[in-house]
């Protein structure tokens, strides 16, 4: 079976460095918000060329606390997409704001700027584009919209560590960038973790308060916060992996380029723009008979997954948002057609060749033309 993902490969390659980092934490006996977190925050901020990075417990917490740090909460509306992991919308609601869901571009699968502009109302306070699958959203257009309407722009970079647009790293194009370090991510911990980056010293200071119950010094709390702390062990491991992020992203891009060549006549891949540095957290194709294709690939030993089969606006848990089928037509069509193929740095070119051959044969057998 060619696996969709294999987390063991990177950990095995970096085993010596990871063990040394973990032992350093154990020998020190300091496990929460200590020197490892400080060092990782400094390194992560430096990697992005910004002044501040604040480690938190998860990517979901990163979005929630970014919104709260900027003063967004009850009574405010935040525009985001429905074609995303539900965590994006969950975080907006946890901040007390109301999510407003808009459609996506049919080629990049990211936020449609035209739909975003049309959704702005008097209560709109922020836009949260998602750099999905490792592909940046159309940030120049979204920055222009945010500036015109004086809105906060928070980038959800959970799937796009190291991705670039016009030479600039995602997370640095808006007011704040939020990241997840869930183990499957391009920069993944051995557990949960997240971070927020910003150039704004005041936002960074408030984020640090909010992640520790609104505390400014021991047992002195100036506002209500939460418990959302990146632990020392995860920070130490992330510090090791951050040094290899660009190299690993380059491998993903080489694997994706091979897929592109081998699947060009059968499957429609996503956008390929010279201004975009896609980091392929996922390699996603489309097919009009996706479910049949997935079954046939399984029989040929290729593991796949759908990201995501049910858009947030059609999830039972979010019925009260008031959306119905047909409200976001591009999102709904994409959800019926996308399929994620194996993509991780442990794959060989032979694995890509075998997976692509299986896709080509299975797509033909499915008896459908590519979407």
For the chain, what is the mean pLDDT?
Answer: 95
Identify the pLDDT of residue 371. Answer: 41
- Judged by phi (left if over 0) then psi (alpha if -120 to 50, else beta), residue 171 lies in left
Q: Which CATH number fits domain 8-102+110-242: 3.40.640.10, 3.90.230.10, 3.80.10.10, 3.50.50.60?
A: 3.40.640.10
CATH 3.90.1150.10 in the chain, residues? 245-365
191-202: per-residue pLDDT in tens?
999 999 999 999
Give me the CATH code for the 245-365 domain, please.
Answer: 3.90.1150.10
293-323 in b/e form (b: 16+ CB < 10 A) is bbebbeebebbbbbbbeebbbbeeebeebeb
Report residue 272's pLDDT band, with 50, 70 and 90 as the boundaries.
low
CATH 3.40.640.10 in the chain, residues? 8-102+110-242
User: pTM to 2 decimals?
Assistant: 0.96
95-142: per-residue pLDDT in tens?
999 999 999 999 999 999 999 999 999 999 999 999 999 999 999 999
Identify the pLDDT of residue 268. Answer: 60
Identify the pLDDT of residue 144. Answer: 98
Q: What is the mean pLDDT of residues 201-224?
A: 96
Identify the pLDDT of residue 305. Answer: 98
41-95: per-residue pLDDT in tens?
999 999 999 999 999 999 999 999 999 999 999 999 999 999 999 999 999 999 9
Greater model confidence, 365 or 196 = 196
31-44: per-residue pLDDT in tens?
999 999 999 999 99
Report residue 10's pLDDT band, with 50, 70 and 90 as the boundaries.
very high
Cα–Cα distance measured from residue 336 to residue 313, given in angstroms and rounded to the nearest whole number: 14
Please write down the HEC assignment for all residues of the chain. CECCCCCHHHHHHCHHHHHHHHHHHHHHCCCECCHHHHHHHHHHHHHHCCCEEEEECCHHHHHHHHHHHCCCCCCCEEEEECCCCCHHHHHHHHCCCEEEEECECCCCCCECHHHHHHCCCCCEEEECCECHHHCCCCHHHHHHHHHHHCCEEEEECCCCCCCEECCEECCCCCCEEEEECCCCCCCCCCCCCEEEEECCHHHHHHHHHHCECCEEECCEECCCCCECCCEHHHHHHHHHHHCCHHHHHHHHHHHHHHHHHHHCCCCECCCCCCCEECCCCCEEEECCCHHHHHHHHHHCCECCECCCCCCHHHCHHHHHHCCCCCCCHHHHHHHHHEEEECCCCCCCHHHHHHHHHHHHHHHHHCCCCCC
Question: Does 367 score more than 70 pLDDT?
Answer: no
CB-CB contact of 338 with 306 (8 Å): yes
166-177: per-residue pLDDT in tens?
999 999 999 999
């Amino acid at each position: 079976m060619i696996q969709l993902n294999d987390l063991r490969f990177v950990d095995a390659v970096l085993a010596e460095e990871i063990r040394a980092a973990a032992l350093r934490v154990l020998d020190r006996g300091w496990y929460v918000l200590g020197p490892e977190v400080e060092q990782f925050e400094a390194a992560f901020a430096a990697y992005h060329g910004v002044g501040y990075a604040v480690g938190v417990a998860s990517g979901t917490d990163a979005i929630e606390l970014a919104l709260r740090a900027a003063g967004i909460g009850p009574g405010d509306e935040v525009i985001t997409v429905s074609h995303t992991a539900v965590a994006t919308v969950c975080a907006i609601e946890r901040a007390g704001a109301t999510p407003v869901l808009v459609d996506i571009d049919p080629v990049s699968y990211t936020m449609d700027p035209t739909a975003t502009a049309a959704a702005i109302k008097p209560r709109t306070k922020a836009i949260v584009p998602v750099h999905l699958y490792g592909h940046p959203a159309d940030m120049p257009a979204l920055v222009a919209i945010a500036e015109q309407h004086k809105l906060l722009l928070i980038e959800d970079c959970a799937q796009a560590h190291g991705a670039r647009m016009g030479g600039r790293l995602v997370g640095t194009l808006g007011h704040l960038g939020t990241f997840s370090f869930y183990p499957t991510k391009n920069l993944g911990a051995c557990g949960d973790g997240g971070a927020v980056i910003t150039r704004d010293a005041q936002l960074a200071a408030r984020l640090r308060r909010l992640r520790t119950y609104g505390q400014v010094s021991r047992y002195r709390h100036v506002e209500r916060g939460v418990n959302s702390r990146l632990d020392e062990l995860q920070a130490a491991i992330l510090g090791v992996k951050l040094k290899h992020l660009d190299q690993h992203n380059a491998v993903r891009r080489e694997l994706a380029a091979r897929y592109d060549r081998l699947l060009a006549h059968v499957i429609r891949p996503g956008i390929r723009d010279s201004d975009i540095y896609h980091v392929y957290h996922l390699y996603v194709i489309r097919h009009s008979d996706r479910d049949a294709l997935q079954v046939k690939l399984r029989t040929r030993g290729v593991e796949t997954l759908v990201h995501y089969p049910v858009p947030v606006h059609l999830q039972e848990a979010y019925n009260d948002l008031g959306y119905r089928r047909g409200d976001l037509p591009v999102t709904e069509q994409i959800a019926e057609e996308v399929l994620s193929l194996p993509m991780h740095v442990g794959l060989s070119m032979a694995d890509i060749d075998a997976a692509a051959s299986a896709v080509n044969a299975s797509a033909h057998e499915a008896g459908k033309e590519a979407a």
